[in-house]
Homo-oligomer: A and B are copies of this chain.
Amino acid sequence: MTLFTPDRPLNLTRGGRLDLVEVRYETYGQLSPRRDNAVFICHALTGDAHAAGFQAGADKPGWWDNLIGPGRPLDTDRFFVVCPNILGGCQGTTGPGSLNPATGQAYGLDFPILDMADFVSVHRRLCEHLGLSRLLAVIGGSLGGMQALQWALSHPSDLANACVIAASSRLSAQNIAFSAVAREAIMRDPGFHQGQYNQFGDSPDLGLSIARMMAHITYLSEEALALKFDREPERDGLNHGFGVDFAVESYLHHQGEVFLDRFDALSYLYLSRVMDYFDPFASPQATAAIAAARPNLLVCSFTSDWRFGPQHSRRVVSHLERAGVPVTYRELASDFGHDSFLLPIPRYHDTLRAFLDRAWEVGS
């Protein structure tokens, strides 16, 4: 869907604009006649618009299928669920791999630097297109949670409720460090060609797979890796060499490999960098709007998450509380690290269900 055109371009937070923005999105459930049952989902760094159900021929459902569907916490018998691919992504929405209409070539590093607020601008235009003037809820985990938070802060009257899961309002030096090394691995890959790799029929696969392998270590907790793999050999006993010898090595290789088929290195750079710079409460006016509109906020974190762990969520809660915003905080027990927000952990799903049931009762 073309949502921004030269006569109504996307003006970007840090200056510049995009004259043409396509957005791919999916919806699940039916929009009510009163248009008051819409729940908007924002995906994480490497997610896409396909949040639930099976695409033709696919053997795996969408990334949040365990949460979305009839009788599930995001009950599609009640809710109209919308999930777009993010601006700057590579799964159908305009990003650095898209053609720059001004040059006829892929943008590459000429794509503008984005800001969390730009994602929200695109999401709002999609809502306008769908005739959704007010959302029952905006929900997201990780980078998705940051979008939900940004939306709730900058346009709180758009939404009655927001769920900010395993997210952060301020990356730590360690968070930035991991992302910085991942980006260096990509940009130093000879296949990167200053971001114009498509023109060279090349791609920085080496760097992107290293970035993904490293990121995967940070998505799982030390406990989860130990439970899953411990020191198990990949095959029958350890061979003692530099090949794939431990099961955990095999897992990482596989994750690095399959990622290349579905993700673009430039999108990795652009989207990860938005997180580094995200610091919405730094502005003294940050909570003025949300303090007036007072939507209901749910903030969740997972005990073993060491990427955006409980301390990140507690900081968000503390800012919101000081602004007098009604906020519920849940620190959920889980051994699965940051990835927990994608998993059907009963206590977590119960929490989301209860929050959304109440949202449904109260209405938008």
Interface residues of A (CB under 8 A from B): 14, 109, 113, 170-174, 176-178, 180-181, 183-185, 187-190, 206, 209-210, 213-214, 217, 220, 222, 225-226, 228-231, 238, 240-242, 245-246, 248-249, 252-253, 256, 269, 273, 276-277, 279, 306
Contact = CB atoms under 8 A, between A and B. Distances in A.
Nearest to A15: B240
Contacts of A226: 172-174
A118 to B, nearest CB: 12
Contacts of A253: 184
Contacts of A171: 231
Candidate in A177, A178, A209 with the most chain B CB atoms within 10 angstroms: A177
Given A173-B229, A180-B248, 17 more contacts: A109-B242, A172-B222, A172-B226, A173-B222, A173-B246, A174-B217, A174-B222, A174-B225, A181-B213, A181-B217, A184-B210, A190-B190, A190-B206, A210-B210, A214-B214, A231-B279, A240-B277
Contacts of A172: 222, 225-226, 231
Given A222-B172, A246-B276, A213 B184 contact: yes
Given A184-B213, A185-B185, A231 B176 contact: yes
Contacts of A213: 177, 180-181, 184
